[in-house]
Structure 1
Amino acid sequence: MKTQDQCPQCSRINEVLSRVGDRWSVLIVISLARYGTLRFNELKRNLGISQRMLSRTLRELERDGLVNRTYHPTIPPKVEYNLTPMGESFRQPVEILGQWALDNITNIDAAREKFEANHADA
């Protein structure tokens, strides 16, 4: 039996998760959920992300309908981002994932140390 027969929607699920499950997308959604509308440079500064990576990730999130981009033709130009209704619906699962990461970082660090100690000779 082919994998596709076992999970006919797995390729679609994979497609969505590869977009919304990457670290920068998750952190951008968390930031916009917490602070509302943010300018490009505010996101860049808050996340410590490169300009190129932020531009790319925001463009993909906008393409997928999770983020709104609003351009204000001022001098200098101002670009703001906020969550769409679909982005808002993604807020709770992302916040839960983020909180899980914070709650378990100490355990993950300990597991990594143990793993490294056990595999130092390998």
Structure 2
Amino acid sequence: MLKSAVRSFSVSATRNAFARMQLLGTVGSVNFRETKNGTKFINYSLAVNQYDPSSEDNKTTDWFNVSVFDEKQISAFEKFLRPGAQLFVEADVRQRVLVDEEGENKHTLTSLKQVRFDVVRFPKKLEESEDTEGH
């Protein structure tokens, strides 16, 4: 006899809705900063290429700004990562609508807060890139 597979859902504990993004891209600029109360954080740009058959070179690049607040991740960025590294990034996404004083122009600001990352490819070592530039 076959049993019916029924999954029950509990309504007693609700989960918060969330938006999460996964990106594979190349690190551009990296800015180490501090909040007014002294908390370290990082803002960095991530270039993500997409296949685009209408483009001359068949790709377009979108740039995303990512913020990092986790101390362990900040430490890893300080030691190992710089522009040119390729990362797989998982980030929480928030959007805010900004309206000018007259209320006529609206802009949507998307914020990415890094949850975790994996290094896909480290950038060339500084010595290697300096040697190749001189030749």
TM-score of the two chains, using structure 2 as the length reference: 0.30
Q: Which has the larger radius of gyration?
A: 2
TM-score of the two chains, using structure 1 as the length reference: 0.33
Between Structure 1 and Structure 2, which shows a larger proportion of helix residues?
1
